[in-house]
Amino acid sequence: MGEIVLKDVEKSFGDVSVLRDINLTIKDGEFVVFVGPSGCGKSTLLRMITGLETVSGGQVVIDGEDITHTKPSSRGLAMVFQSYALFPHISVRDNIGFGLKIAGLPKAEIDAKVAQASGILGLDALLDRKPRELSGGQQQRVAIGRAIVREPAAFLFDEPLSNLDAALRVQMRIELIRLHERLATTMIYVTHDQVEAMTMADRIVVLEGGDIQQFDTPIALYDRPVNKFVAGFIGSPKMNFMEASPGPDGTVQVKGGPALKVPGLDPARMTGRMTVGIRPEHIRYAHDAGDLTGKILVEEQLGSDAFLYVEVEGIGMVTVRAVGERDFHSHQTVHLSLPPETCHVFDESDLRINEN
């Protein structure tokens, strides 16, 4: 079991408040990812759950038990560090079995569990080596092995893959997803990487400036971001933002562009200054006609997609994602249209005001 509830959790270092009003309920067996820009407090939040960092206010509850002031060794959690943090003076076998030995399990049982974990992670041939004799990927596997043998209430990961090269990262990502399916244990995973967040998470916590911006499924974050920050943070390339103001007949007038009749937008919630957001793949593009006219500054051709960076007079740079497109090139003129049903509207305090 591993339901983790944070109630009004706060953290400050001295006078500096780092996290405020953190309320989260992470369900048993859920895979939750914390994302946010550097320094937003992801690691601090994770470390408060482990007990490595003290909590300045509020409660941390695991399975109904208030563990706010319980020491880390008694919380029954396992953590995988970005730096792996293996014990360098003992073998891989002893590293994996470390927690079990501390817990006083009989040797036969430890050996059996270590063998099982090393089988899952493909470490059988490496058990008698010291950590320094392993590659980065292997070391990370040992760290994961050390975590899974203890059958913890939850796994906590702090950017576990960021020291690996790109190919290995993809492989480990898939392995972690499969591991989660197999163990069905609660996992909390901190990352900078959009793709990791989107692909691995059941739900994502977006943190910024010490506050939770949104806590929802990856698709909900992508399709219905609550504010401009989340809209801009989730998705790559980023959502395009354009200044706008209220237009005639309940429309939104894009500055230097068309007036859009965005569905689900209550004119009463409009403010004088607004922002219209549209994702690069939602912009329609054509050689002959459209709402906006611009010039392609750069064409990034990936084969599967072409990213067109279009300079539109009065609006600025607009990114267009043209799936499978081969026919638009740098320096050409292109016409763009903004389908209103794909647009997001943010008010002057950057909250999203169209409902859908």
Partner 1 sequence: MTKSVRWQLVAAVVITFVFVAPILWMVLAAFKTINDIYAIPPVWVPDFTYLDNFKLLLSENWPFLLNSTIVTLSATALCLAFALPCAFGLVYFQFGAKNFLADWILSTRMMPPIAAAVPLYMVFNGAGMLDTMPALIIAYAGFNLPFAVWVAMSFFRNIPKEIIEAARIEGCGWFQTFRIVALPLAKSGIATVATFVFIFAWNELLLALFLTTREAKTFPVVISSFSTVTKTYWELISAATIIQILPPVIFTILMQRHIVSGLTMGAVKN
Partner whose footprint covers residue 41, from Mg ion, partner 1, ligand ATP, none (CB < 5 to 8 Å by kind): ligand ATP
Shortest Å distance, C-beta 317 to ligand ATP: 27
Q: How far, in Å, CA of 182 to CA of 117, rounded?
A: 12
CA torsion sign, 249 to 250 to 256 to 258?
negative
Which of these, 258, 246, 277, lies nearest to 342 by C-alpha position? 277
Q: Which residues are at the interface with Mg ion (CB under 5 A)? A: 43
Report 96-115 residues binding partner 1 (CB under 8 A). 98-99, 102-103
Report 31-70 residues binding partner 1 (CB under 8 A). 50-52, 54
> Whose Cβ is closer to partner 1: residue 54's or residue 116's?
54
301 binds ligand ATP (CB under 6 A): no
Partner whose footprint covers residue 6, from ligand ATP, partner 1, Mg ion, none (CB < 5 to 8 Å by kind): none
44 binds ligand ATP (CB under 6 A): yes
Shortest Å distance, C-beta 17 to ligand ATP: 9
Identified binder of partner 1 from the candidate list 79, 179, 198, 244, rule CB under 8 A:
79
Q: Which stretch binds ligand ATP (CB under 6 A): 21-29, 40-48, 237-245, 283-291?
A: 40-48
Kindly report the number of other CB atoms within 10 A of residue 39's CB atom.
12
Is residue 39 within 8 A of residue 57, CB to CB? The reply is: no
Identified binder of partner 1 from the candidate list 85, 115, 170, 259, rule CB under 8 A:
85
> Whose Cβ is closer to ligand ATP: residue 33's or residue 292's?
33
Residues 6+ apart with CB under 8 A from 57: 8, 9, 10, 11
Token digits for 207?
Answer: 């943190």
Write the burial class of residue 79 (CB in 10 Å: 0-12 exposed, 13-18 middle, 19+ buried). buried
CA torsion sign, 354 to 208 to 30 to 171?
positive
Partner whose footprint covers residue 38, from Mg ion, ligand ATP, partner 1, none (CB < 5 to 8 Å by kind): ligand ATP
Q: What is the DSSP letter of 27?
A: P
Tell me the residue length of the chain.
356
Q: How far, in Å, CA of 348 to CA of 333, rounded?
A: 32
Q: How far, in Å, CA of 353 to CA of 343, rounded?
A: 11
Residues near ligand ATP (CB under 6 A) are 13, 18, 36, 38-44, 192
Site of interaction with partner 1 (CB under 8 A): 50-52, 54, 71-73, 75, 77-79, 81, 83-89, 98-99, 102-103, 130-134, 136, 139, 146, 150, 163
